[in-house]
Amino acid sequence: MALELLLLIIVVAGGILHLYLRTFVKSTVEKSVGHQFDLKLEGFKQVFEEKWKRVDRKDRFLLASLDKKFKAHQQALALALKIHETLFSQNNEKFEVQKEFRKFWNEKCLYLSKNSRQAIWKTMNLYMNYEIYLTNWRTKSSPDAGKTLEEAFNHIFLTPAIITNDVDIEEIILEPAVQKGMGLTPYGPENKNEVSKLTA
């Protein structure tokens, strides 16, 4: 009976020891594997965060740049419309528009697309020389004066479409004002008698 008791104690102690060792080894292995996994996970996190920061920085820069480009195109459009509105105004109004254009050009021209930049620059030059084109047409100083005047007029009217096309929004096309009943022609406010006298 002592032997049986001893055997029973050994079996129970062995079972407890086995259970303890299995739990201890299992938890040690789990801790070791878990620790290695955590280390790898932390490494992946750091790499991901670094890449994300770079992408985020690029995106923020790109968004800021796009915002500035959009605002520059919006200002160019407003300026083109102002040029259109003051085309037949007195020179002092034109000089104010020219002053506004210079300020805009000095601050924003690099944010404009190539087409918009070229269109608004040409428009301003045509705008400032429009009186000369009109005078040349009235005095018939050049056989191409009428054609030059009409080309200048048409370019000024198409500039808003060029600008809006460059920012990929619906184009704003200003039809010749005479078609809208505004009474404007390349030759100035519509005066059929004056136009017919000058073209005759």
* DSSP β-bridge partners for residue 184: 189
Rounded CA separation 163/156 (Å) = 12
At residue 119, what is the residue type?
A
Q: What is the pLDDT of residue 122?
A: 95
Q: What is the pLDDT of residue 184?
A: 56
Rounded CA separation 172/154 (Å) = 14
User: 87: Cβ–Cβ under 8 A, 6 or more apart, which residues?
Assistant: 127, 130, 153, 156, 184
Dig out the tokens for 70 from the structure: 């959009």
The closest of 125, 113, 124 to 72, measured between CA atoms, is 113
pTM of the entire predicted model: 0.60
Tens-digit pLDDT profile for residues 82-100: 998 888 888 888 899 999 9
pLDDT band at 187 (very low <50, low <70, confident <90, very high): low
At residue 83, what is the residue type?
I
Element (H, E) at 189: strand 188-189
Tens-digit pLDDT profile for residues 96-155: 999 999 999 999 988 999 999 999 999 999 999 988 988 888 888 888 888 888 899 989
Q: If you count them, how many residues does the chain have?
A: 200
